[in-house]
Amino acid sequence: MKNQVVLITGASSGIGMATARLLHDRGYRVYATARQVEKMESLGQAGVRLLAMDVTREESVVSAVQTILEEAGRIDVLVNNAGYGSYGALEDVPMSEARYQFEVNVFGLARLIQLVLPAMRRQQSGRIINVSSIGGRIGEPHGAWYHATKFALEGLSDSLRMELRQFNIPVVVIQPGAIRTEWNGIARQNLLNVSGQTAYRDLAQKHIRMLENADQRGSEPAVIANVIQKAIHSPRPRTRYAAGAGAKVILFLRSILSDRAFDQLVLSQLK
């Protein structure tokens, strides 16, 4: 695995930063990307190659991929980690924000896959790692647009996996549970800003408290970084890896409960 070239998006904090650091330490040639390069300074000091990338801008993603191919000559692994949670009652969220949530979490990710696949097919090898969420299998109030993007990512990954099997390019989905990252704080603030003073304010305030508690109980980003490294290293990776606080339990409960029973379970946590 030494010197395999890895492109990671959303590496300015959390899971992306932890993954970039771990893979670099394990001997991979890591290209860490984010909109704000200055937030990745510690990675750069460790020897990780830093690139500015906004996954919603065509010229930005094209430039980054071209730079890597010119410098390294190949891309062996794409870790699609960039994403955020736009929370608020569906009635309250502007459609412009809903579209941007899809631009970041789905369309930007898909465009990067399009850009790296020609090189991977020429190599007759490669690996696509899509960081989804347990939110790609369950719903919750105020998360309609975020969960819609993750459900879309799950379906995209399933279809892509079958398309790329002929080229020896596995597609792996990572489904984190509660992880201590900036994501939780951003989701809480979005929920407060969008629905904190609307007809949904009472349930929104309860949800904010639940998210705060989940953040305190969450796993460290390194837990997911280790799972991503395992998915890259494995000769025959699983199609999905669920990890982090509550992930496996919640997915198991979703698999055995009816829709209404699971709805009640989720709502019972918003007290």
Confidence at 163, pLDDT banded by 50, 70, 90: very high
The tens digit of pLDDT for each residue in 200-239 reads: 999 999 999 999 988 889 999 999 999 999 999 999 999 9
Of 146, 157, 195, 241, the active-site residue reads: 146
- Continuous segment of H or E residues that includes residue 176: strand 171-176
Q: In this predicted structure, what is the pLDDT of residue 1?
A: 56
Predicted TM-score (pTM) of the model is: 0.95
Cβ burial, residue 167 (10 Å; 0-12/13-18/19+): middle
pLDDT at 86 over 80: yes
Residue 12 designated active-site: yes
Confidence at 2, pLDDT banded by 50, 70, 90: low
- The Cα–Cα gap between 7 and 116 comes to 10
Residue 42 designated active-site: no
Of 28, 86, 87, 132, the active-site residue reads: 132
Structure token digits, residue 90: 């569906």
Residue 132 designated active-site: yes
What separation in angstroms does the CA of 178 have from each of 132, 141, 209, 250?
Answer: 12, 17, 14, 11
The tens digit of pLDDT for each residue in 241-266 reads: 999 999 999 999 999 999 999 999 99
- The Cα–Cα gap between 187 and 65 comes to 29
**Domain spans, the chain:** 5-268
Name the DSSP letter for residue 131: E
Residue 200 designated active-site: no
Of 133, 150, 195, 241, the active-site residue reads: 150
Name the DSSP letter for residue 136: G
CATH of 5-268, one of 3.40.50.720, 3.40.50.300, 2.170.190.11, 3.40.50.920: 3.40.50.720
Structure token digits, residue 178: 């509660």
